[in-house]
């Protein structure tokens, strides 16, 4: 009895399939095979490639979309709401009619012209609605690449800024080195050999010790190693009464620390200057690879 019913339905199918001779027919079998006959209903199937090679952002990538669009009337698909657009698993699509499949008779208005109209309208719809979100750092003027997450992009920006920061810290080091040398000329205006040859402990010897200790701390301040950081923060034994040289070095070290901290903070701020950039395709970016009718199985129950 079931076989007779299927045969009669096949005869009915042959009466309208002549309209489909120029239309690609594809089928999506049920995920779970069924023992009974399965009714299939038609959707417009569109498979496109969206190819980006954007000059401004440097973004290069290709995206494949496979969509099944429900058919409501002869005006293609009204509104293009999400409920009538279904993602389709390309790997499951087949070109042969599944066994025990019953094809619902399609509307009379479906023909190759109708398919072309839907395809054209859907591609235009993609130019308005499909988007790729990139991330942009305004300070570096760089954009995230294909497959790069926001977190990965921030790491890349931080690495770029680290190079610039190191250059600026080195410039600071040179400036404070010069200031340090001026203190040396002013307070230790004698040569190292001449100073070491003196037998008695004089105020100049004390100043030399202060200079040596603070110079080491100042140098460590501009290095980025754990050992140098410890050296920069280490306490320096001082006399109860600070000499003028020590007072000048304390002020110089404090200024160097402030300037370095300000530099670090400014680069942290620059790293956070991330905004979203919306990339949309135009018609030349979208290539239709395949279109036609995709028969989908009606859900069981």
Q: Based on the domain organization, do 10 and 78 belong to the same domain?
A: yes
Residue 26 near residue 296 (C-beta atoms within 8 A): no
Give domain status of residue 141, yes or no. Answer: no
Band of residue 107 on the pLDDT scale cut at 50, 70, 90: confident
Residues in CB range of 195: below 8 A, 6 or more apart: 188, 204, 205, 208
Residues in CB range of 186: below 8 A, 6 or more apart: none
Q: Residue 171, SS3?
A: helix
Q: Based on the domain organization, do 11 and 122 belong to the same domain?
A: yes
**Residues 254, 179: Cα–Cα separation, whole Å:** 13
Q: Based on the domain organization, do 287 and 265 belong to the same domain?
A: no
Q: Based on the domain organization, do 122 and 190 belong to the same domain?
A: no
pLDDT at 211: 84
**Residues 196, 232: Cα–Cα separation, whole Å:** 26
pLDDT (average), residues 213-224: 84
State the residue for tokens 């305004």.
138
Q: Based on the domain organization, do 159 and 211 belong to the same domain?
A: yes
Give domain status of residue 48, yes or no. Answer: yes
pLDDT tens, position by position, 94-105: 999 888 888 888
Q: Based on the domain organization, do 205 and 117 belong to the same domain?
A: no
Over 50: is that where the pLDDT of 156 sits?
yes
Rounded to two decimals, the pTM is: 0.67
**Residues 190, 183: Cα–Cα separation, whole Å:** 12
Residue 46, CA distances (Å) to 26, 63, 84, 87 in order: 11, 14, 13, 10
Give domain status of residue 144, yes or no. Answer: no
> Which 8-state DSSP code applies to residue 45?
E
Band of residue 82 on the pLDDT scale cut at 50, 70, 90: low
pLDDT (average), residues 138-146: 94
pLDDT at 234: 47
Number of H helices, E strands in the chain: 7, 9
Residue 31, CA distances (Å) to 73, 91, 93, 297, 298 in order: 28, 12, 11, 10, 12
pLDDT tens, position by position, 222-232: 885 433 444 44
**Residues 34, 300: Cα–Cα separation, whole Å:** 9
pLDDT tens, position by position, 239-292: 455 688 888 889 989 999 999 999 999 998 898 899 999 999 999 999 999 999
> Which 8-state DSSP code applies to residue 79?
T
pLDDT at 212: 85
pLDDT (average), residues 215-219: 87
Band of residue 207 on the pLDDT scale cut at 50, 70, 90: confident
Give domain status of residue 276, yes or no. Answer: no
Q: Based on the domain organization, do 6 and 101 belong to the same domain?
A: yes
Cα of first residue to Cα of last residue in the chain, in angstroms, is 21
Give domain status of residue 143, yes or no. Answer: no
| DSSP per residue, 180-241 | HHHHHHHH--S-HHHHHT--S--HHHHHHHHHHHHHHHHHHHT--SHHHHHHHHS-----SS
Over 90: is that where the pLDDT of 136 sits?
yes
Band of residue 199 on the pLDDT scale cut at 50, 70, 90: very low
Phi, psi of 255 (to 5 degrees): -65, -40
Please state, rounded to an integer, the average pLDDT across all residues of the chain.
80
The residue range of the domain holding 222 is 150-271
pLDDT (average), residues 60-66: 93
Q: Based on the domain organization, do 120 and 157 belong to the same domain?
A: no
- Between helix 150-187 and helix 244-271 the angle, nearest 10°, is 160
Phi, psi of 140 (to 5 degrees): -85, -20
As for how many domains the chain has, the answer is 2
Q: Based on the domain organization, do 105 and 165 belong to the same domain?
A: no
pLDDT at 13: 58
Give domain status of residue 263, yes or no. Answer: yes
Q: Based on the domain organization, do 290 and 258 belong to the same domain?
A: no
Residue 295 near residue 71 (C-beta atoms within 8 A): no
Q: Based on the domain organization, do 114 and 214 belong to the same domain?
A: no
Comparing CA positions, the residue from 117, 106, 121, 119 lying closest to residue 296 is 106
Burial of 168 (0-12, 13-18, 19+ CB in 10 A): middle
Band of residue 18 on the pLDDT scale cut at 50, 70, 90: low
Over 90: is that where the pLDDT of 31 sits?
no
Give domain status of residue 93, yes or no. Answer: yes
Give domain status of residue 142, yes or no. Answer: no
pLDDT (average), residues 119-128: 92
Q: Based on the domain organization, do 60 and 6 belong to the same domain?
A: yes
């Amino acid at each position: 009895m079931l076989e007779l019913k299927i045969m009669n339905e096949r005869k009915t199918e042959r009466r309208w399939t002549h309209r489909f001779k120029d239309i690609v027919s594809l089928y999506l079998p049920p995920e779970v095979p069924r023992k009974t006959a399965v009714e299939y209903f038609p959707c417009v199937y569109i498979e496109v490639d969206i190819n980006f090679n954007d000059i401004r952002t440097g973004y290069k990538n290709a995206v494949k979309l496979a969509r099944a669009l429900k058919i409501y009337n002869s005006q293609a698909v009204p509104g293009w709401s999400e409920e009538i657009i279904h993602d389709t698993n390309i790997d499951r699509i087949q070109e042969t009619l599944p066994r025990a499949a019953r094809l619902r008779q399609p509307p009379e208005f479906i023909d190759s012209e109708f398919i072309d109209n839907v395809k054209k309208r859907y591609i235009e719809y993609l130019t308005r609605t499909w988007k790729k979100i990139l991330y942009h750092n305004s300070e570096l003027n760089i954009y995230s690449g294909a497959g790069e997450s926001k977190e990965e992009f921030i790491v890349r920006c931080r690495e770029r800024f680290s190079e610039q920061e190191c250059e600026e810290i080195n410039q600071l080091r040179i400036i404070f080195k010069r200031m340090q040398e001026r203190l040396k000329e002013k307070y230790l205006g004698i040569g190292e050999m001449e100073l070491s040859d003196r037998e008695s402990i004089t105020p100049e010897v004390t100043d030399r010790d202060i200079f040596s200790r603070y110079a080491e701390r100042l140098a460590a301040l501009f290095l980025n190693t754990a050992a140098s950081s410890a050296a920069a923060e280490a306490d320096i034994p001082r006399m109860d009464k600070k000499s003028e040289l020590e007072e000048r070095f304390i002020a110089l070290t404090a200024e160097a620390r402030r300037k370095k901290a300000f530099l670090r903070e400014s680069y942290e701020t620059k790293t956070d200057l991330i905004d979203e950039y919306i990339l949309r395709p135009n018609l030349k970016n979208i290539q239709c690879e395949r279109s036609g009718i995709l028969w989908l199985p009606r859900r069981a129950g």
